Structure 1
Amino acid sequence: MAIAVLEALDNARTQWYHVTAILIAGMGFFTDAYDLFCISTISKLLGRLYYFHPGAPKPGKLPPNVNNFVTGVALVGTLSGQLFFGWLGDKLGRKRVYGVTLIMMVISAICSGLSFGSSPHAVMGTLCFFRFWLGFGIGGDYPLSATIMSEYANKKTRGAFIAAVFAMQGVGIIFAGLVSMTVSKIFLVNDHNPVYKGNEFNNVLSTQPHADYMWRIVLMFGALPAILTYYWRMKMPETGRYTALIMGNADQAAKDMGQVLDIEIDPDQDKLSQFKAANKYTLLTHEFWKRHGQHLLGTTTTWFLLDIAFYSQNLTQKDIFPAIGLIKKEVDMNALQEVFETSRAMFVIALLGTFPGYWFTVFFIDKLGRFIIQLVGFFMMSIFMLIIGLKYEYLKNDNKWMFAILYGLTFFFANFGPNSTTFVLPAELFPTRVRSTCHAISAASGKAGAMVGAFGIQSYTLSGATGEIRKAMLILAATNIMGFFFTFLVSETKGRSLEEISGEDGGESGNRTGVSAGRLSMSRQPNRRSDAVQGQ
């Protein structure tokens, strides 16, 4: 059942408006990543500032329970925000709640930097409170950005568009390291406090005023890109698919998308009414689970398993960097120097290992397909982590550069792999009526995995003992190979319209696996080619 506005979107040539939509949605993900990962650069500093006592034998450290909450509470907020805003996006519309998430992120980022209290526990408690609400706003960005981009995109390059939005996460991680490195260096230029050696502290508390400003500036910087993005988000029209298929307003959908694409579109109100009548089932119905239950199981399990590994690595980088020679031992640095070294190491890993993987996905996802990229990514991550786990002592002590290469490659294949595809697939597999909700459920499952990494793996490796990190890497290798096998529950989506994938067009919807869907896609290659030519 062809509807003109949907065909126009599917077959539209790539134009400036698509680029604008990527930038607007992508800046949200830039902010998300910056806010989530900048905490890794300052968590040790917080321990030195608030848990150091004169006469102590070594620098102050955050107690394990405090460290877990400071680094992980934003993930709890993100999970909650994903479920709430994802559901709201299907009920009220994508655009109506899109700006609310940015406002929450701006306010919470600023308040995180202004965290106050009369005791260390009070300061950390205030920080955790605001970072929870920061995560809540970040959570809303996941389903809304993915859904909006998928519903705006044409079917020829839809995967690249959604992946490009998510790739801004890599830029955000780079800036988390760059901003922390720059701010700490600025304070270090005028800081003449000598470093301390061994167990002897040389007036270390004199760095506290500078260091206290430093971590607050880093956290508040996250509000800036969100502020700059707000106006442009509010100018975006509601997606044509939501306006037509959920609101039932064919005239408005044709008008909005006609202006966006600069073409005339027939409203097709009669066809739209028939379309809506055939797709009334909701999430908690037998019809949904019959059609899409296998896909939802696939997207939730793979994202859960991926994020256990991905967030375990990012949140424990500050403990692994010394082992691969990227930073000095803490006893050779004062507080600000340690932030600089940690941030620089994070910047290097992100620039050389994390960032390229995202953009490899953007360039190849509509050529290789989501299914193959996810399988290869999970498999390669598992292999590299297995090698690190089995040869950890040798790599750490005798071959640190090989250790660094293997560690960087795990990030590359995470991003040229499941970290990107688990974001893309839930935005394509499910029907319009529940697309935002299903993406939110999948993303929330991922954040549950991230919390396993933050509260479980991180706690296990908090001491940095060789045996603990070695075992953790072996556990992460096992979770990745499980993700490889659960990938067979999802379908290949490249080259097909969203309505064809979900079955909303009256065809077979379904719970096809990636293999069967891939064969179907190949059998329809001539038709897809003619669509692409028409779109050009």
Structure 2
Amino acid sequence: MARDQLVVLKALDVAKTQWYHFTTIVIAGMGFFTDAYDLFCISLVTKLLGRIYYTKPGAPKPGTLPPNVAAAVNGVALCGTLAGQLFFGWLGDKMGRKKVYGITLVIMVICSIASGLSFGSSANGAMTTLCFFRFWLGFGIGGDYPLSATIMSEYANKKTRGAFIAAVFAMQGFGILAGGIVALIVSAAFDHRFKTPTYHENPVASLAPQADYIWRIILMFGAIPAGLTFYWRMKMPETARYTALVARNAKQAALDMSKVLKVEIDIEEEKVQRLAQEPANSFGLFSKEFAKRHGLHLLGTTSTWFLLDIAFYSQNLFQKDIFSAINWIPPAATMNAIHEVFQIAKAQTLIALCSTVPGYWFTVAFIDHLGRFFIQMMGFFFMTVFMFAIAIPYHHWTLKPNRIGFVVMYSLTFFFANFGPNATTFIVPAEIFPARLRSTCHGISAAAGKAGAIIGAFGFLYAAQNTDPKKTDAGYPPGIGVKWSLIVLGVINFIGMLFTLLVPESRGKSLEELSMENADENDDEKQAASARTASV
């Protein structure tokens, strides 16, 4: 038999959209802005790092990062993110969302600055230092995933909750865009100031001493937006759902939300006393009861996020190589080091502006109308279609007259990733699990995604290499080539459609209804079946 819901939670569910909703979106969203900036800005400077630290005197073309170093530089932050998602997700359920929220931000600020100050007496020493700080930067970023999603879901009303959580996640698109813009401004400023010759013209002079400042400035800029939001994060009250349902202090929850909503909320002394006397944890994460109620849900959220991130991160991290393959970015030897950064940043900025950012905000606009399930299924479907449309006639797209068509098709895969599973995989785990396990389960789901991202970053970095060992650059072992890598990614997207069938629809329902938080311990299969049914 279901228990009565506390008035304070009902008040949050039916609250009209207010100023505090928007301030929460900005406070939580700036964390995601920083997350995306820090994770993706490294792809803008990896070729520059190869030029600075691995160019051999007299070589016919600029140096590139060795394959093991490139994999480490690109992927180590993802490893840290995975660890941070698991650790801070668990900690957010144990200590509270607010207490942990500030810790992650401090880590991000310190490690962003430290990454730009990386040092070493040799090339490998400098890269080792950079990887060390980027791992811990990723660790802080990882904590932002479960905490931001959980805080926003627990603050939102049930009518527009999807849009609010999606808006937090959509700040990731602006972070990717900002990375490209910062790189464009910094590289253009240095290139204009010093007028450096190309590598063909003068191999030594093409690597201006000032080039070493560029990658450091780009990496350190990520500390600014994170630092600006620290004060406001510390001013936020703990979420009412954590205070009432986990900390068992419904009175404090009512007082906190009265200030936030600017209304009087009944403290309900009788319910407060009864709630305080009830056991805090009726079942745990590894219990049979959790497996019965939410086991398939957790399998659905982890598997779809895992499959999505294999495709999404591999596309992002080797897009500069794809653009080079179709000659959208000129050969490295025809540019100086600074201008190469400008060209890579220009390509990434164009993709972000035309497809990534719009995709996120289409999700914000339509998720509470179309539903999570429909958008995720649609996104995986079109990602599959466009990936195959690029991959199967791949050599057709590399011809000069067809390159614009290639960029359009490639952009559409990003658009439907973001107006699709890249947003919904973040939203749903913050809605369907009990409050005492919500942050943990979101962290597990997100960590599964980062495991996929690591496969994308490491595996496809090698897989996409030239199939001819004699033509393989920079010491990479021969791979299956870009074409077959894209075909594999298309298959992965199709499998993501199948696992989406395990994910429940959460549109228009309260968090307690979705998680069966108000259900008694002995509720039967009818409750579980109800939670698994997708709303129409």
Band of TM-score, shorter chain: over 0.9
State the one-letter code of the partner of 1:480: N
Match of 2:534 in 1: 517
Match of 1:271 in 2: 271
Match of 2:253 in 1: 253
Q: CA deviation at 1:193?
A: 2.5
Match of 1:285 in 2: 287
State the one-letter code of the partner of 1:207: L
Task: Provide structure 2 residue ranges, at least 5 long, that are not aligned to the other structure.
Answer: 473-478
Task: Tell me which of 296, 300, 303 is aligned to 1:301.
Answer: 303
Q: Distance in 2 between matches of 1:387 and 1:445?
A: 28
SS in 2 for 1:517: coil
Task: Tell me which of 83, 87, 91 is aligned to 1:88.
Answer: 91
Task: Provide structure 1 residue ranges, at least 5 long, that are not aligned to the other structure.
Answer: 523-536
Q: Distance in 2 between matches of 1:463 and 1:52?
A: 21
Post-superposition Cα deviations, 1:386-427, rounded to whole Å, max 9, x if no partner, equal: 111101000111411111111000000000000000000000
**What pairs with 1:383-532 in structure 2 (closer than 5 Å)?**
383-397=385-399, 398-463=401-466, 468-506=481-519, 509-510=527-528, 516-518=533-535, 522=536
Say yes or no: does 1:131 pair with 2:148.
no
**What pairs with 1:226-237 in structure 2 (closer than 5 Å)?**
226-237=226-237
Q: Distance in 2 between matches of 1:509 and 1:127?
A: 51
How many percent of aligned residue pairs carry the same amino acid?
62
Say yes or no: does 1:111 pair with 2:114.
yes
Q: CA deviation at 1:251?
A: 1.2
Larger deviation, residues 157-166 vs 464-473: 464-473
Q: CA deviation at 1:271?
A: 2.8
State the one-letter code of the partner of 1:154: N
Q: CA deviation at 1:262?
A: 0.6
Q: Distance in 1 between matches of 2:252 and 2:21?
A: 20
Say yes or no: does 1:102 pair with 2:105.
yes
Q: Is the 8 A contact 1:490 1:513 kept in 2?
A: no
State the one-letter code of the partner of 1:235: K
Match of 1:531 in 2: none
**What pairs with 1:208-223 in structure 2 (closer than 5 Å)?**
208-223=208-223
Q: Is the 8 A contact 2:150 2:438 kept in 1?
A: yes
Q: Distance in 1 between matches of 2:31 and 2:217?
A: 20
Q: CA deviation at 1:286?
A: 1.0
TM-score normalised according to structure 2 size: 0.93
Q: Is the 8 A contact 1:384 1:406 kept in 2?
A: yes
Say yes or no: does 1:22 pair with 2:28.
no
Q: CA deviation at 1:509?
A: 4.7
Say yes or no: does 1:13 pair with 2:16.
yes
Q: CA deviation at 1:285?
A: 1.0
Q: Distance in 1 between matches of 2:298 and 2:250?
A: 29
Match of 1:336 in 2: 338
Q: Distance in 1 between matches of 2:528 and 2:491?
A: 29
Q: Is the 8 A contact 1:426 1:435 kept in 2?
A: yes
Q: Is the 8 A contact 2:84 2:139 kept in 1?
A: yes
Q: CA deviation at 1:323?
A: 3.5
Q: CA deviation at 1:224?
A: 0.3
Task: Tell me which of 133, 147, 166 is aligned to 2:150.
Answer: 147
Q: Is the 8 A contact 1:93 1:242 kept in 2?
A: yes
TM-score normalised according to structure 1 size: 0.93
Q: Is the 8 A contact 2:62 2:199 kept in 1?
A: no
**What pairs with 1:300-379 in structure 2 (closer than 5 Å)?**
300-379=302-381
